[in-house]
Chain A
Amino acid sequence: MDRRTFLKTGAGVAAIGATGGISAPALSQGAAARTLRFVPQANLANFDPIWGTQYVVRNASVMVWDTLYGVNAQLEPQRQMVEGEEVSSDGKTWTFKLRENLFWHDGERVLAKDCVASLERWMVRDGMGQMIRDLKDELVAVDDRSFRLRLKSPFPKMLLALGKNNTPMAFMMPERLAKTDPFQQISEFVGSGPMRFARNEWVPGAKAIFTKFDRYVPRQEAPSWLAGGKQVNFDRIEWTIMPDPATAAAALQNNEVDWYETPLPDLVPQLRRNRNIRVDIADPLGNIGSFRFNHLHAPFNDVRARRAVAMALNQQDYMQAVVGDDPSLWSALPGFFTPGTPLYTEAGGDILKGPRNIDAAKRLLAESGYNGQPITVLVAQDQAPLKAMGEVTNALLSSIGMRVDFVATDWGTVGQRRAMKTPPGQGGWHVFHTWHAGADCTNPSSYLALRTTGDRAWFGWPSDEAVENARAKWFDAPNLDAEKAAVAEMNAAAMNHVTYLPTGFFKTYQAWRSNVSGVVGGPIPFFWGVTKS
C-alpha cells in the first residue's frame, strides 16, 4: 500500500462518516486495463473533421469515422471500408463496392448513398477533393453497397485522395449528416468507426470520451496506420485535456494518465529517468518549420530579397531553438518534402547548404532595392516553436541589415492578420512562421504551402508557373520514377523562386506508461493494437 492509498483509506473512513457513505466508485483492475487515459496534443474544441481541420479533430475522428481507404506506414492507400474497386480502361470511371457488415453507431447499415453524400461534402473542403469535383461528371449510388464516380478525365491519385491522412480526410458519415453545409458544423456524431463518441460526457477543454462500438468488424489484415484491422482493445478511451505540459508530464509519472502525445523536449530527460515510462519519437514523418514570406509587398516581392534571407538562414539555429540540443530530434532540410519518404529530394537546395554568407546576403539585399523599411514579423508567443523561430528570425534579419518590427502576439491574431493583403504598414505583414506536418509534405497533393497560384495561393500569395507546372506533372505521373522526377523539378523551382523557406525538419516525442504496449509512431496516435496490462 503506498502512502496515497493509505491516506485515502484513512480519509475514506472519515468521508463515509461525513457524507453518509458517499464515496468514489472504485474501478477494478480489469476495468482499469480496459480504459486508456490519454493526453492529446490540444483541446478537442469541436468535432466535425470536415468543418474544422485541426489535427486534434482529425486524430479523434479516426476513431469514430471510418474511411473508404487508408494509408499504411509506407504511405500506400489500402482498402478500408471498401471491399473492392473497379476502374474503367480509360481511367475515367471508378466503381466502389463497400464491405459487408458495416454499421453506423445508431445501428443503421452503411449504404452507398451515405458515402456519396460524404464525398460530396468532403470535396468542397479538400484540395484533392476539389480537383476530383472539377473533373466529376457523376457520383451516384448504384445499389446499397456500390457507388460510381465518373470523371471527365482520369485522376490517377484517386485512391490516395480517398485514403490520405491529411486534413480534411475523406470520412464517411450517414447521409443526413453529410448533407450538412460543409461550412457549418454537424449536429450529431454518428460514425461507423471502432469507437463511439460519448457526447454526453464531452466537456470541451477538459475531456472527451470514446466508448467501444461492439458492431464494428475490423478488417483481417494487421493494422498499419490507417489501414488494416482497427482492433481497439479498450472499452473506453478517455482524453484528458491538459494545457500545461509540466502538469501532463507529472500526471504521467504519477500514473494518473497512460499516454501523453506531445511531451516537451525539455521534460523528456526527466521522463526517461522514470523506469515506468517509455519515450519514443511520436511521428517519424516529423514537421517542417516554415519561414513564410509575403510575396505581395516590398522587399519580398523581389526574389533577390528572399534569396538574401535564404543565403543567411542557418537551420541549425532554428532547430536548436525549437527542440533544444537533442540531435535525434532535428535535421537540416535543404528541400521542401519530408525526409525519409520516397519523393524526398534536395534538388535546387544548395542555397540552404554549407557555410552561411552574411556579406553576400547583404549585397544581394541591397541589389533588391531594400531601403531600410521596417520588416513586420508576426510571432505567435503562445506556440513555443513559433516563438522560438520568431526570435531567431529577428536576429537573422538584423544580421543582414534589416530593420525588424517584431509583432509579439498570439496565434489567433496571426491567423487573422496573415490573411490580410494590405501593405505591412496598414495591418499587413512581411513574415510569419508556422510548421507543416511532415505527413502533409510527402507529396504535392495536399501541400498547400507550396502552391504558387498567386491570389489563390496560401498566405503569402506566391506566384510562379514553373512550380505549378511541375506539380501538374506529378498528378499525371504514371509511376514512381516519373513522380520523383516531377517532384525534383518542383522542389528546384520552388527553391529558385523561394516560395517559402524551410527552417529545418524536427520531430517530437511521445511518452507512455510501461504497462501500455503496441504504441506506434505515426502522424496520428493510433489506438488500435494498443493494450494495457
Chain B
Amino acid sequence: MFAYVVRRVLATIPVMAIVALFVFSLLYIAPGDPAAVIAGDQATPEDVERIRASLGLDRPYLVRFGAWVFDIARGDLGVSIFTNLPVSTMIRQRIEPTLSLMVVTLILAVSVAVPMGVVAAWKVGTWIDKFVMGFAVLGFSVPVFVVGYLLAYTFALELDWLPVQGYTAFSQGLWPWLENLILPAIALGTVYIALIARITRATMLEVLQQDYIRTARAKGAGQRSILFLHALKNAAVPIVTVIGIGIALLIGGAVVTESVFAIPGLGRLTVDAILRRDYPVIQGVVLLFSFVYVLVNLVIDLLYTLFDPRIRY
C-alpha cells in the first residue's frame, strides 16, 4: 500500500509537467495582450509595445517557457503581471474562501444527496422516488447562477435572513463564516446533489437486488440496517467515484458561484486573470487545480480499499 501511494505521488510529477506544458502553450497561442490591458484605452501603440517589452512578453516561446519551468522547479510560481504580487501570495489570499465553499458544499451535498438516493431506491416507483428524480433533473438543468440569483433574492433581499454577498474568514467566528456560505453552497451544491442522488439511487437499486440483501432480510435485519449497513456500503465505490469526479464540477461551478456571490476565491481570481491575460496567475492556478484533482483521485483510490476489502494495491 505504502509503495503504491509513493508510486502514485511520484506519478503526479509527469502529469503536472504535461499540464504545465499544455497550459503554457495554450496561453502562448491564445489571443490577447496584457500590455494592452495595462496601458489602458488612452495608450498609444508605442506605449503598449514598451510595456510588452518591459514584461518580457516579446521574448521567444522557448526562452519564456524555460524561465518559467526553472522558476517552478524552485517552487516559485512567478509574479502577477498586474498586481506585482507573487502568485503564491495571491493564491494564499484566495484559497480559504474557495476551500470553505467547497467543503461546505461537499458536506451539504453528500449529507443531502446520499439519503435522497437511498430513500428513492428504497421507495422506487413511489411519489418519493419521482420527487427525487424530478429534483435531480431540475438540478442538472438549472444553471448555477440562476439558482444563485433566486436564492439571493428570496433569502437575502426578501426575507433578510442571510447576506447577499461576501466572505468572512473562519477566524472571525463560525456564524459570520457560515452565513456567507449557506446560499453559495446551496447554489453550487444543487447540481452536485442531483448527480450524487441519481448515482446513489441507481447503484442502490442494483445492490438491493443482490442475494445477500435477501439473506439479510430473511435473517430479520431491520430496514435501516439493510439500507445503510448492508446495501450502502456495497454501493459506496461508484458513489465515492462520482463524488471525486464531482470535485472538478465543483471547481468549475465555484468560478460562477464566486462571481454571483462576490466571494473572493480562486475561481474569481482565475476569471480575472484570464480576462486580463495575467499569464503567471493563470498558470499558477491551473497547476494548483490540476494538483488538487490528481490528489483527490488518489484519495478516492485509497478509499476504495476501505469500502471493498477485495481491492488491494
Contacts and interface: CB of A to CB of B under 8 A. Distances in A.
Given A24-B168, A203-B264, A411-B275, A167 B42 contact: yes
B264 A250 contact: no
A46 B264 contact: no
Given A15-B173, A254-B156, A410 B261 contact: no
Given A22-B173, A205-B272, A413-B32, A419 B42 contact: no
B165 A242 contact: yes
Contacts of B164: 247, 250-251, 254, 256
A181 B53 CA distance: 13
A244 B173 contact: no
Given A204-B85, A242-B262, A254-B157, A458 B36 contact: no
A256 B161 CA distance: 13
A125 B156 contact: no
Interface stretch (B44-52, B232-240, B290-298): B44-52
Contacts of B308: none
A204 B84 CA distance: 10
B38 A52 contact: yes
Interface residues of B, number: 64
Interface residues of A, number: 69
A5 to B, nearest CB: 9
Contacts of A24: 168, 172-173, 175-176
B262 A46 contact: no
B44 A456 contact: yes
A443 to B, nearest CB: 14
B276 A45 contact: yes
Contacts of A256: 163-166
B222 interface: no
A63 B157 CA distance: 33
B33 A415 contact: yes
B165 A12 contact: no
Interface in B194-223: none
Contact of B84 (A15, A46, A127, A458): A46
A11 B31 contact: no
Contacts of B304: none
A410 B40 contact: no
A207 B36 contact: no
A22 B38 CA distance: 42
Contact of A410 (B32, B42, B51, B174): B32
A313 B168 CA distance: 50
Interface in B75-90: 80, 82-85, 90
A247 B159 CA distance: 16
Given A4-B162, A204-B85, A419-B45, A22 B276 contact: no
B203 to A, nearest CB: 34
Contacts of B172: 22-25
20 contacts: A3-B161, A7-B161, A8-B179, A18-B174, A22-B172, A23-B173, A23-B176, A24-B175, A53-B39, A183-B50, A240-B262, A241-B262, A242-B165, A243-B271, A250-B164, A251-B166, A256-B165, A413-B31, A415-B36, A434-B41
Interface of B: 31-34, 36-48, 50-51, 53-54, 80, 82-85, 90, 93-94, 149, 152-153, 156-157, 159-166, 168, 171-176, 178-179, 259-262, 264, 268-269, 271-272, 275-278
Given A24-B172, A45-B276, A250-B164, 13 more contacts: A4-B161, A11-B178, A24-B175, A25-B172, A46-B82, A206-B264, A242-B262, A247-B164, A247-B259, A248-B262, A410-B32, A415-B36, A440-B42
Interface of A: 2-4, 7-8, 11-12, 14-15, 18-19, 22-25, 43, 45-46, 51-55, 125, 127, 166-167, 181, 183-185, 187, 203-207, 240-244, 246-248, 250-251, 253-254, 256, 382, 409-413, 415-419, 434, 436, 440, 446, 448, 456, 458-459
